[in-house]
Amino acid sequence: MEVGRDFNPLLGDICELVREYGVEVVAVAMTAGTTDEGNIDPVDEFCEVCRDTEVPIHVDVAYGGLIAPFLRKHGYRIPRFDFSLRSVYSITVDLHKLITPVPGSALLQRSRELQELATFESPYMPLGRHRTLLGTRTGGLAASTWAVLKVLGYEGIFRGSRGG
């Protein structure tokens, strides 16, 4: 897939492919904040240009998802890429890139129904179900990730984004 002069994806071309392949397209994956350059795909524009397709969008905010919300608060204009956009169904964020131990990450989903798709039967678990992408890892990472987010909160992470 080619990109434009601004290095953004050619949204019309992606929409044409989505229309051409129809129901065979499971989702379109976009990125909000590439690790090297910080590029944010124009997810909001894509939703507008491709609105007739109703294709689900997955946004990988591996690195940028921890920075972009604070850029807005600092006055930068960046595209929206979150659940305020009707077509965004899921978001992944690598918390370990800035604030938690490796491999701390999160999969955020728009609805409980989508969460259920990542749940599987697990007779040895107290509830008989297992909801994770990691399999049988210790709960220490999840606990430490929760603790860091709870202690820092939005304001703590925002203070860190200002370098102090």
pLDDT of residue 85: 95
Q: Which two tokens stand for residue 113?
A: 């129904």
Gyration radius from the chain CA atoms: 18
> Residue 32: which of 85, 96, 78 has the closest Cα?
78
The pLDDT tens digits of the residues spanning 96-108 come to 777 777 777 778 8
Q: Please tell me the distance from the alpha carbon of residue 25 to that of residue 10, in angstroms, as a whole number.
A: 17
> Which has the closest alpha carbon to 63: 35, 104, 89?
35
For range 32-53, the mean pLDDT: 87
Give pLDDT, residue 91: 92
Model confidence band, residue 163 (pLDDT cutoffs 50, 70, 90): low
pLDDT at 81: 93
Task: Please state the pTM of the whole predicted model.
Answer: 0.78
Bridge partners, 9 (sequence order): 3
How confident is residue 134, by pLDDT bands cut at 50, 70 and 90? low
Which region holds residue 78: left if phi is over 0, alpha if psi is between -120 and 50, else beta? beta
Cβ-contact 64, 34 below 8 angstroms: yes
pLDDT at 2: 79
Side chain identity at 104, as an amino acid letter? G
Q: Which two tokens stand for residue 71?
A: 């850029």
Please report which confidence band the pLDDT of residue 137 belongs to, taking 50, 70 and 90 as the band edges.
low
CA 26 vs CA 54, 90, 144: distances in Å: 11, 12, 33
Domains of the chain: 11-161 (3.40.640.10)
Find out whether 44 and 80 touch, Cβ atoms under 8 Å: yes
